[in-house]
Amino acid sequence: MTIKFADFEKKIKISFKDKDLLKQAFTHRSYINENVGLKISHNERLEFLGDAVLELIVTDFLYKKYPAYTEGELTAMRSALVNAIIISEIAGAIGMNDYLLLSKGEAKDFGKARQYILANTYEALVGAIYLDQGYEVVDKFITKTLLPKTEEIVNKKLWRDAKSLVQEKAQEFVSVTPSYKVLQQSGPDHDKHFTVGIYFGTNLIAEGKGKSKQEAEQSAAMNALKAKNWLD
């Protein structure tokens, strides 16, 4: 089946000057490995660029919208907004799943691995839009797709440091200090994925995933708060 990227352009209302750049944004490394001789590269360099563009636009938005918040609070809010789970949800909502160029093996996996691929592809798309259309267009794209999530994150206080909160609640309700353990790590050095467990004593309460141990610990802490119904 041939993927028609023109349909995606209509969906996001952006017409690329360089069509290969759009295709590259959706091209996973596994697809290149399986289709040797393609003229385009995989999307990892675009993802690197898009990650920085995304961080700048989100930072600028939060700085202007929430003047009363401290640097630490704004940093926590930004982390909550640009984490892989939220971004993969956004990518899924705008139909990016239908355009991914993956190896046959990766195409069959709809679990956590797909979640990270979607999040990375969204960042690569941001990089591609920035290169092809400029800052103003990519700013509008992020404002339309991702930034509406800010209100939910702020209203539900999902930006709070989950590790600090779960420690406070665990000491209050069960008189233990949580501990964390890396359960699994995978991927090359430039694209590591960690799975971390949070324990109360010897009991595994929840797991979390992330591109760093710190991100995975935060995710595990948030999942523990949800599991214990300790979110206000």
For residue 1, pLDDT over 70 is answered with no
The residues that bridge with 206 in the sheet, in sequence order, are 198
Tens of pLDDT, residue by residue over 45-62, are 999 999 999 999 999 999
Those residues with Cβ within 8 angstroms of residue 225's Cβ, 6 or more apart along the chain or in another chain: 162, 165, 166, 169, 231
CB 189 within 8 A of CB 171: no
Q: What is the pLDDT of residue 120?
A: 94
For residue 127, pLDDT over 60 is answered with yes
In one-letter notation, the amino acid at residue 60 is D
**Residues taking part in catalysis:** 51, 123
Q: Which domains does the chain have, with CATH numbers?
A: 15-155 (1.10.1520.10), 162-227 (3.30.160.20)
CB 83 within 8 A of CB 91: no
Question: Which of 46-50, 105-109, 142-146 bottoms out in mean pLDDT, i.e. has the lowest?
Answer: 105-109
* pLDDT band at residue 135 using 50, 70 and 90 as cut-offs: very high
